Structure 1
């Protein structure tokens, strides 16, 4: 080996170490919403609460989700009271439905608001208290119910991380409440459920996705795997 090659090799930094253990199984494909019942059964579900907003209900997606669950012999219940930027009021309303129906699986279908609300319901249903008790990370002491996300927008990434962003209905303070147990067990990425969203929402959530890719690429906590995902997001 030449001296120049030896010098070049010696000056290279060692590869950055990382520990990658995704909490959420990702199921992707056109029409993959039809697999919801199968995936819910794998998680041991019997009584399922579908969490969504009125706009998605008007588009018919929650009804398709319920049909897929019912075809697998599961009982389904609907909470459609989610609004943009959910507050403790929305979480508590969903909690009342979940408690009354004695559900054992949560399915969130929609954007970040539906997914955050589902996580908030899960915190209170399984661990009690109020959302402020879980401000920060790792405050849940009891196991949480399995949950499935069906995102209908591109941008939030809530389906693949363990935080719920919930505003206090009284003070309006936004609380980031996270716990590994709150992460969705499965995320179903079905392109068919994104085509009914308004053009403006498509544009805004697309910019949101690009922002996440940029943040991931320049953060001081980046690693080769995260940079690969960021580059691919920009390419797409």
Structure 2
């Protein structure tokens, strides 16, 4: 029996068209002035304006901050804080992918508590309550909408900082699968495989518990059964909804059990070689499954007993079949399955291993990892 402390902090509103409720839900939070944090791609798709229209119709003064880049930096956060102060924001809406939601949380940290982003690297370092936030994800990937962490990169060192505090949790997560239909195919592939990694890693971490496992299992069922479908038919709203809920549930699992070595391995690939996060995770995850299966093979076998029809799903119960299935999904998504094709220097694996060993998520991996074992995983992925 594993003790846990689960406190739901985020109200989840799900369904096609629910973005129209954004204004009403914001009014319920007592706000009159709203800062909408988004990115240029989401603005171009028209989703930011849809949200703004709902807020405006509810009588709220709304300002758009669209200075968010992929892997948001401290510079992005600082610019957003300046705009929030100038407009007197009383509520923050993160409308977009994980980057927009993370940047919104980062802005809230500094706006409510002062200082700089580096001050909140770690857990529980906010001393004051934060402004209410509403998350409106337009991708099915990070699950940031149900997490209390903001992932912000230092603009100078490029180190990705995980800044977490219960006060940073969003009050509401507004999940509208219609917003995910306009994603470019590559974004669908990258964010979807990241969500799958979240489900698989949270299922085996050292902090896994009855609560997190329920979310991990639910996320895995929805993601594994719908990923190939959204790649084949991007307009399939049922599959889009399954992916969005799966990503959200995986986010809840992360909140209660954290991640593992695949994410520890991914971050240095992004900082050193510019490999986008989802692609880095996609390459490393199958190797981590094989590595972990020597210790937790029975846990992986549980995930091979899914009772929903999934095209190409393995019929055996060997953990290696799970790793092979992930590789199959990555290949179907037209993503790279090795590091060499991504331009990673084989001579860099020693340094990559050292850097990966410094990543916090690796400490939750079920099988112990260090610089040497992480280097071997990079070597295997070349």
Q: So what's the TM-score if we normalise by structure 1?
A: 0.91
Residue 226 (str. 1) matches residue 208 (str. 2): no
Residue 103 (str. 1) matches residue 78 (str. 2): no
Whole-Å Cα distance in 2 between the matches of residues 224 and 124 of structure 1?
Answer: 34
Whole-Å Cα distance in 2 between the matches of residues 93 and 209 of structure 1?
Answer: 29
Whole-Å Cα distance in 1 between the matches of residues 203 and 125 of structure 2?
Answer: 29
Q: Which residue of 2 aligns with 1:131?
A: 117
Residue 77 (str. 1) matches residue 63 (str. 2): yes
Shift of 1:172: 1.6
User: Once the two structures are superposed, what CA deviation does each residue of 1:140-169 show, in whole Å capped at 9, x if it has no partner?
Assistant: 111110000001111101111111111111
Shift of 1:51: 0.4
Tell me which of 38, 61, 82 is aligned to 1:52.
Answer: 38
| Aligned pairs, number | 222
Whole-Å Cα distance in 2 between the matches of residues 225 and 29 of structure 1?
Answer: 24
Residue 61 (str. 1) matches residue 47 (str. 2): yes
1:76 counterpart SS class: strand
Q: Which residue of 2 aligns with 1:12?
A: none
Shift of 1:16: 4.0
Q: CA RMSD in A?
A: 1.1
Q: Which residue of 2 aligns with 1:150?
A: 136
Shift of 1:77: 0.4
User: Once the two structures are superposed, what CA deviation does each residue of 1:40-63 show, in whole Å capped at 9, x if it has no partner?
Assistant: 011111000100001100000010
1 or 2, which has the higher strand percentage? 1
Q: Which residue of 1 aligns with 2:181?
A: 195
Residue 205 (str. 1) matches residue 191 (str. 2): yes
Q: Which residue of 1 aligns with 2:14?
A: 28
Whole-Å Cα distance in 2 between the matches of residues 216 and 32 of structure 1?
Answer: 29
Gaps of 5+ in 1: 1-14
Tell me which of 12, 23, 27 is aligned to 1:37.
Answer: 23
Relative CO higher for 1 or 2, CA cutoff 8 Å, sep ≥ 6?
1
User: Once the two structures are superposed, what CA deviation does each residue of 1:27-74 show, in whole Å capped at 9, x if it has no partner?
Assistant: 101101011011101111100010000110000001000110111111
2:161 counterpart SS class: strand
Shift of 1:211: 0.6
Shift of 1:225: 2.8
Whole-Å Cα distance in 1 between the matches of residues 107 and 210 of structure 2?
Answer: 35
Whole-Å Cα distance in 1 between the matches of residues 180 and 128 of structure 2?
Answer: 34
1 or 2, which has the higher helix percentage? 2
2:206 counterpart SS class: coil
Higher mean C-alpha deviation, range 165-174 or range 70-79:
165-174
Higher mean C-alpha deviation, range 202-211 or range 190-199:
202-211
Residue 87 (str. 1) matches residue 94 (str. 2): no
Residue 217 (str. 1) matches residue 203 (str. 2): yes
